Amino acid sequence: MPEESGSPYKYSCRKCPIRNRCIEYSDSAPTIKAQIRNAFANKTDTIDLWAHLQSNCLLVKADEEAKKGSTESLLSQRLRRARENRTGELPPPAPPPTPKKPTFSPPPPPKPLTPFIKASQPDDNLPNDIRDPDQVTRHEIASARASGQRFWLTVQPNGRHITLPIDGSLVLGRYDPHFGIPPDVDLTFEDAAYDSVSRRHARITGKGGIHFIEEMGGRAGIVINGKKLGLGATHRLYEGDIITLGHISLRYSLIPGWIFRLGSKAVTHVFTVAATGETIVVPPGERIIGRSDRFINYQADIDLSHLGAISQKVSRRRALLSQPMGLSRLYIEDMGSGFGTKINGELIMMGKAYPLTPGDHIWLGGCVLAYDVQI
């Protein structure tokens, strides 16, 4: 699969025989996966669309494994067979070799049974409370829901808030112009002086308001309360936990109740561009947020076109912001954008207005905006 003309990638997604597996293994919502498949089926896919799949490219992973050693890995074997067959489906694995008949030797003496103990890291740096979200009981989830408590992360020292979903997950990381699509929560601005946060550094999952953090292979890892989290491990978060991603520290805590009781107070609605730190004040009334286009003489009410590469995947009419008469809450509605709009990692329905809470992060394809209010 040679490189397409003008493509920055080694492999062509358009000609890839296992493209559907990369789409299925991606973290995209089912609706986004369907749109990607339709784009390839209709031959309307673009280089920008390939960037969405390159972070999980199985062919690239196979090449990386091949560089680590001369022995061909299982993944490399499966991909090689797929290239040879050109069917798009992986063939069944080869049957295991027939074991040789062992020579006779006297049986060893029986050993006493001992309980299984999971091995820890040599430096014993794993947190003591590592649990999988599936191990949370129904009683715990019901109690968390009944309390009505919501949690957020506070980025130290600038105080930026990141509201966490009651159910669902979001990915923390940084924007990479070569891939073009940022994570749900972009920490580029806070990490600009260090470059220590990976593109997809950590995943936080909510289950009934109980949250877990998972290490996604970031080069700097995750440290929780001074203890390092192992690769691929999951840790339940508790009030007051300090999470460190590279040089960025975040505190896990309850959202104050007054945040949800703004009522009709006069507040100023503010967005912060996560990649640059730029502040955007939202004027009152209905406003369209998007990207202006001088070629068709279109001007968005809140124009993101000046952000350059970050705004290239933002539609001209991306979302509608509105504030009902007499209320202080700000609402957002997706206007039919190609990549969709997400709030705190969850894709919102087109044509439905969603209320925003301070600390919400709005994902607009290539740009992430952090929402807050000033009283």
* Token pair belonging to 129: 């409370």
The correct CATH number of 261-374 out of 3.30.70.3270, 3.40.47.10, 2.60.200.20, 2.60.40.10 is: 2.60.200.20
Indicate where the chain has its CATH 2.60.200.20 domain(s). Answer: 133-255, 261-374
pLDDT for 120-160, tens place per residue?
333 344 444 445 566 677 788 888 888 888 999 999 878 99
What value, to the nearest 5°, has the Cα angle with vertex 153 and ends 147 and 157?
140
Question: How many other C-beta atoms are found inside a 10 Å radius of the C-beta of residue 216?
Answer: 19
What value, to the nearest 5°, has the Cα angle with vertex 206 and ends 200 and 211?
90
CA atoms of 164 and 271, how far apart (whole Å): 17
Architecture of domain 133-255: Sandwich (2.60)
pLDDT for 45-80, tens place per residue?
777 777 777 766 777 776 766 665 545 555 566 566
Strands (E), 197-339: 200-207, 210-215, 222-224, 227-229, 234-236, 242-245, 248-254, 268-273, 279-281, 287-290, 302-303, 319-322, 331-334
With bands split at pLDDT 50, 70 and 90, how would you rate the model's confidence at 266? confident
Compute the mean pLDDT over every residue in the chain, rounded to the nearest whole number: 79
- Name the β-bridge partners of 320: 288, 333
* Token pair belonging to 148: 């009505």
pLDDT tops 60 at residue 251:
yes
Q: What is the pTM of this model?
A: 0.63
**Phi, psi angle pair for 71, to nearest 5°:** -75, 130
Positive or negative, the CA dihedral 286, 368, 305, 157 is positive
Spell out the residues 6+ positions from residue 166 whose beta carbon is closer than 8 angstroms to its own.
145, 150, 206, 208, 209
How buried is residue 57: exposed, middle or buried, by Cβ count under 10 Å (0-12/13-18/19+)? buried
